[in-house]
Chains A and B, each alone.
Chain A
């Protein structure tokens, strides 16, 4: 099992550009999450999904969009990138909800200049 995979590993965007961060899990998990982590800070939840076709906002959803068309994939879309979106983005998955461990991907380091 590859677990949770994310692409790309690194990306530099110019202000106003858009991009999609890819996330795939092969553990047949129902729940998937997107977090961002700023230097020296904890993880903040952007969006999550409890199953294919169902998504919901987390703590910091502004400037992002998600979709969940399959169990395996949970892409994160950044529209009109801003410097405030410079961060490390982690995708995670879990079998069920908050009382189950989450498995994290390796992260995508995004810089917006």
Chain B
């Protein structure tokens, strides 16, 4: 069955450092991969979408990579700030349907 894995343990980093979050998948051939941010008690907010034929995508301090050979996406936040503290969810979809499948999320804590 399809499986999407994100590190369930919280990632703690110092302000100003680069945070790197991982999303691995198995038994899946996604055409699109999305990253969302979720703050406590709120709904997820879209950050970035990357297509299977794109290796990398950037938006301000955010960078996403998508390696279909390794079946992995990396999500980077450069010059991290305490305001970046949140849970980050990856979500995959393919061309066959209309659904996104979400990973369990990784909680990021940026300490001043």
List residues of chain A with CB under 8 Å of any chain B CB: 4, 31, 35, 40-45, 48, 50, 56, 58-59, 90, 92, 97-107
Contacts and interface: CB of A to CB of B under 8 A. Distances in A.
A43 B44 contact: yes
Interface of B: 4, 6, 8, 31-32, 34, 41-46, 49, 51, 89, 91, 93-95, 97-105
Contacts, number: 66
Given A42-B102, A45-B99, A45-B100, A99 B49 contact: yes
Contacts of B93: 97-99
Contacts of B99: 45, 48, 58-59, 98
Nearest to B34: A101
B43 A107 contact: yes
A44 to B, nearest CB: 8
Given A98-B97, A99-B93, A106 B42 contact: yes
Contacts of B45: 104
A2 to B, nearest CB: 13
A90 B44 contact: yes
A99 B97 CA distance: 10
A64 to B, nearest CB: 16
Given A42-B102, A43-B89, A102 B97 contact: no
Contacts of A48: 98-99
B51 A99 contact: yes
B97 to A, nearest CB: 7
A42 B94 contact: no
B98 A107 contact: no
8 contacts: A43-B89, A43-B102, A45-B99, A98-B97, A99-B31, A102-B44, A104-B43, A107-B43
